[in-house]
Amino acid sequence: MNQQLFEKVDQYIGNLFAPEDSVLQETIQSLDDASIPQISVTPSQGKFLQLMLLSCKAKRVLELGTLGAYSTIWMARAIPADGKIITVEFDPHHARVASQNIAKAGYSDKIDLRTGKAMDILNELISKGEEAFDFIFIDADKPPYTEYFELALQLSHPGTIIICDNVIREGKVLDENTTDEKVKGVQRLNQMLANNPKVTATIMQTVGAKEYDGIAIAIVN
């Protein structure tokens, strides 16, 4: 088993179940054009998010980490016409590109893009009594993942699905002596999820075009 094989299988799955149209292709291209890292979800992962949204009949979605809005557009296509996504991006440059991509995709009315620190925006949503979300996707900076999750819980209801991306870090989570702040961040999250009575959770390992990682999946009890 090797990375080249994983990438070919990922492409096979994507071609079968998640073919990209011109909007998605142009969104990915916009990252290169704007010198933004190509760290979006893969097409098959975008389709997976859609399936999760459909499984809980999501109408209200919260996303932390917009990047170029590739995952955001995938999710927007899986919620009803009167649904809403609030997506949060820290980097103003990324947010500008994402806003352009959202407009090109025709989802400016459905997607509310907010620029700033996720922690600040989460606390603002809580303080203003924002209506609970049906689905929450956390794919932002890793060190404060636990804090993001705990704030996200305050914006959820029983049955809300919360997914956290990149929680295995190519197996580096096994290193108890790591000095990598990203790894330490997801280690804290994973341990918290395992002992949190407010959710039922697990982690699925992933391989593919984005190499070896994993996603945490939690359902609010």
Q: Which two tokens stand for residue 202?
A: 């697990």
pLDDT confidence of residue 75:
98
Q: Are 164 and 175 in contact (CB under 8 A)?
A: no
Mean pLDDT of 61-88: 98
Whole-model pTM: value is 0.97
Confidence of residue 1 (pLDDT cuts 50, 70, 90): low
pLDDT confidence of residue 2:
86
Mean pLDDT of 48-52: 98
**AA letter at 110:** K
pLDDT tens, residue by residue, 189-217: 999 999 999 999 999 999 988 889 999 99
Lowest mean pLDDT among 3-7, 184-188, 215-219: 3-7
Q: What is the mean pLDDT of the chain?
A: 97
d(CA 166, CA 191): 15
Exposure b/e, 189-201, CB count within 10 A at least 16 = b:
bbebbeebeebeb
d(CA 186, CA 144): 8
pLDDT tens, residue by residue, 120-159: 999 999 999 999 999 999 999 999 999 999 999 999 999 9
